[in-house]
Amino acid sequence: MAEVPRLEIRNLRRSFDGRAVVDGVSLQIMPGQVTCLLGPSGCGKSTTLRMIAGVEMQDSGEIYVDGKLICDTVTRVPPERREIGLMFQDFALFPHLSVEGNVAYGLRGSRAEKRARVEEMLGRVHMQRFIDMYPHQLSGGEQQRVALARALAPQPRIMLMDEPFSGLDNRLRDGIRDETLSILKEEDTGVLLVTHEPDEAMRMADEIALMRDGRIVQQGAPYNVYTRPLDRASVAFFSDAN
């Protein structure tokens, strides 16, 4: 039997003030696949992710998780029931909660069950010994790992990541990208990673969806998209960014 995509979006559209910001975006992400939505600032990447997360409503189009319709103009599963994990640039750790409290935040079950799951997830990101600390006591990279553990703890079917590494200094970034990727690969979740940096997409993606002016203009394996850009605008995007 054919595998069901973890995430499928069909023809998503959203306008602000009469301007189409997301203009008919369709995508499928399979289990274990990392797709990068890559494109210049302002092309509609975050709006696309926000609609999938359920914090922004589309004007039209459908969203499916595991083949189940979670959102169209009639049906609307609330964000917390979409089984989607989020790592957004501005979606920081809760400062008043310990590392344990942060990772336990979206979990259900008894105290002991939650504790066991928190320990397991912190183990996976090599942060067990920080369990009782608070976010301000951690470095940027450590906070990032806790945020990853928090997002993965409820076993989301799909992970949405919006420029998750942009707040880190250059020195750390490559290491954390690689580490994050290897943890995501162990989870077999589908990942949609938004970035405006070709380097990041080349490093992390199984597939790149190149976005411009609210549309996906080219999609494929990173090497193919990079070496065979569709048009001058794509060439300019790849060369400007480097």
**Coil, helix or strand at residue 28:** strand
Residue from 11, 15, 16, 73 in contact with ligand ADP (CB under 6 A): 16
Q: Give me the residue label for tokens 């259900």.
A: 108
Our CB check for ligand ADP shows the closer of 134 and 238 to be 238
State the binding partner of 16 from Mg ion, ligand ADP, none, CB within 5 to 8 A by kind: ligand ADP
For residue 5, what is the DSSP state? P
| 170 contact choice in Mg ion, ligand ADP, none (CB below 5 to 8 Å, kind-dependent) | none
Smallest gap from Cβ 224 to ligand ADP, in A, equals 22
126, 131, 136, 141: CA torsion to nearest 10: 10
Give dist(CA 219, CA 201) in Å, integer.
Answer: 12
Query: Where are the extended beta strands (E) located within 164-222?
Result: 190-195, 207-212, 215-220
Closest CA to 154 of 95, 55, 80: 80
Near ligand ADP by CB under 6 A: residue from 11, 42, 94, 140: 42
Output the smallest distance, CB 220 to Mg ion, in A: 22
Neighbours of 94 (CB within 10 A): 12
User: Which residue's CB is nearer to ligand ADP, number 118 or number 160?
Assistant: 160
Q: What token pair was written down for 2? A: 């054919």
Stretch that binds Mg ion, among 11-19, 40-48, 120-128, 141-149 (CB under 5 A): 40-48
Smallest distance from the beta carbon of 42 to Mg ion, in angstroms? 8
Name which of residues 46 to 75 contact Mg ion (CB under 5 A): 46
- Per-residue binding string, ligand ADP, 45-84, x by CB under 6 A, is xxx-------------------------------------
Q: Which residues pair with 7 in a beta bridge?
A: 29, 65
Residue pair 159/87 in contact by the 8 Å Cβ criterion? yes
Binding site for ligand ADP (CB under 6 A): 16, 21, 39, 41-47
Binding site for Mg ion (CB under 5 A): 46
